[in-house]
Amino acid sequence: MELRCLLLNIVFISVVNAMLAFGFAPQDERRCSYGRIEKLMRIRCYNMDLKEVPQNLKTSVEVLDLSYNRIRKLRSGSFQRYTDIKFLMLYENMILSVEPGTFAPLTALQEVDLSNNGLTTIPMELFSLPRLRNLYIDSNDLRELHQELETLEKPIRAPLEYLNVANCELHDIPDLGVLPNLWQLNASANPLSDFNIDKLANLCHLKVIDLTRTQINACVCQQVTNHLMTMGANPKFVPVCMEALDSDSCPLPYNRTVDSPTFRSCVDSAELAETRSLWLFAAGCFGGVILVLLVFCYCIHRWRKKRANRRLSQSIQNRKRFVISPRNTINNRLEDEPLHCDTASA
């Protein structure tokens, strides 16, 4: 009998393992781990051989890790249920295409990592997300990206601060228009044979740029270095050449970017955004003060009304009661004589 039970258990375990291996079991339910990171709801579906974005997770997820899976295509409804996502990890998948509207519901998204996939372009709707600050799309084949960007409406809405396009077969850095918030750009391991220093005029707050393992020439390299130094970047974060060239070898002035109308437009955009934020903050503070005053006045009004009602109630209680006088007997009172009232004794 014991031998029979043992054999049944072995067969059962073998069947379950086979189901897991061929994807017949709900792996995302079984293995996706739930937790919190800095008070954010995190769901980790790391390395589970998933072929699609699971649709049975908690909709309140804010950090979703789907890295190291086998997702080949992102569909328009992949994230429809998860509109609270702020951080999305999709690196090391097999993503080849993204349907239009896939990222549109993620209006709270602040960071997305699409690195190490098979993408040939950046999903353009990412640039319309109002809170997207960090975009990782390195190690994709984006050599034809410039054609897609020709139809992109600029300036983009996304307030990008960090952009990683390393190892994407790019011949130039992406032209996303004026990016007043971008402070770090990683374009390493790209040919960048068409790179032009004028493109940096769109990045008026750039402090760090990685151009290692690229094919830019020594003159452009030095121009980038001087541009960053002019911007006030820390020298230890300037990873391009520091060898000085004479004016014959590199004749273009180093302040060509910062004196350009494009650079000035970028600075004006940043100042306008800062002014708008300041006014919104001031308006919020003013509205808060008005609300507090209204609540205070309402409380004072209620307190005064309660005090008046309390005084009226006390005065009614203290008032002496009147009783019908015995003189009002019918036998002793004339017909037109008014009634007499006596004050009740305490």
Question: Is residue 333 scored above 70 in pLDDT?
Answer: no
pLDDT reported for residue 332:
53
Task: Give residue-wise pLDDT tens across range 164-194.
Answer: 999 999 999 999 999 999 999 999 999 999 9
Distance separating alpha carbons of residues 204 and 182, to the nearest angstrom: 8
Task: Give residue-wise pLDDT tens across range 275-324.
Answer: 666 666 667 777 788 888 888 888 888 888 888 777 777 777 666 555 55
- Residue 15 pLDDT class (50, 70, 90 cuts): very low
Distance separating alpha carbons of residues 277 and 169, to the nearest angstrom: 38
pLDDT reported for residue 255:
62
The rounded radius of gyration (Å) of the Cα atoms in the chain is 37
pLDDT reported for residue 235:
63
Sequence-separated (6 or more) residues with CB below 8 Å from residue 209: 184, 185, 186, 187, 224, 228, 238, 239, 240
All domains of the chain in start order, with CATH: 22-272 (3.80.10.10)
Question: Is residue 221 scored above 80 in pLDDT?
Answer: yes
Q: Report pTM.
A: 0.71
> What are 191's two structure tokens?
């040919």
Distance separating alpha carbons of residues 300 and 340, to the nearest angstrom: 45
User: Which position has the token pair 């601060």?
Assistant: 161
Question: Is residue 155 scored above 70 in pLDDT?
Answer: yes
Average pLDDT over residues 322-345: 54
